[in-house]
Amino acid sequence: MKRNAGFTLIELLVAMAIVAIIGVIALTGLNQVIEQREIARERAERWRELQLAFRVVVQDLAQIHPRPMRDEIAASYQPSVLASPSAQFALELSRGGWANPAGLPRGTVARIAYDFEEDTLVRYSWPVFDRTLATPPLRNEILHGVQNVEIRFLDAAGQWHLEWPPLDFEGPERLVMRPKAIEFTVEVEGFGRLWRLVETSG
């Protein structure tokens, strides 16, 4: 009589163990691929957020307008570009080129402000140029994960300033003077220091 050929119990257990090990290795590799793809997707999304934020900032800085702004109580005027530790915002400026395709009864110069709130870079704008205390701003959070913001101003003589208008400059021209260039730097979590040097319309 011939015995039927087949696998022994030990051979089946060994085969099942090998298949299980291969499955675990394959699953681990698949999980790593999925994690790396998610990390790449999040980083690409973060880069898009950074590029959009810098695009907005650069467009504002490149179109600085010399018009000063009447303050909220109409008692005095604020410079066309204002950056001071005592000011309400980190940077406030008059921006030209405000498109008006609908022909609304308003000018083409807007008042824009930037501020650093906790870990967020915030852009403010107002529906009218000479605002009052009752004029609410439009608040737009353009960049998160910000650890620090630095702004420097280059004057016509090639000197850098941390405040604008410069403290040693007096007279009515102080209200309309514009820097030659502005260096805008942000320190972002995971990316380090990123900056743009923008030549202004001044």
The candidate with the shortest Cα–Cα distance to 152, out of 186, 177, 119, is 186
Task: Identify the residue whose tokens are 């800085």.
Answer: 61
> How does pLDDT run across 138-170, given as a tens digit for each residue?
999 999 999 999 999 999 999 999 999 998 888
**All structural domains of the chain with their residue ranges:** 58-199
Judge: domain 58-199, CATH 3.10.610.10.
yes
Cα 197 from Cα 51, distance rounded (Å):
14
The Cα-based distances of 172 to 68, 87, 180 in angstroms read: 11, 19, 19
Cα 178 from Cα 153, distance rounded (Å):
9
Cα–chain center distance at 179: 21
SS3 at position 32? helix
Task: Quote the pTM value.
Answer: 0.78
Task: Identify the residue whose tokens are 């080129």.
Answer: 97
> How does pLDDT run across 25-65, given as a tens digit for each residue?
888 877 787 777 777 778 888 889 999 999 999 999 999 99
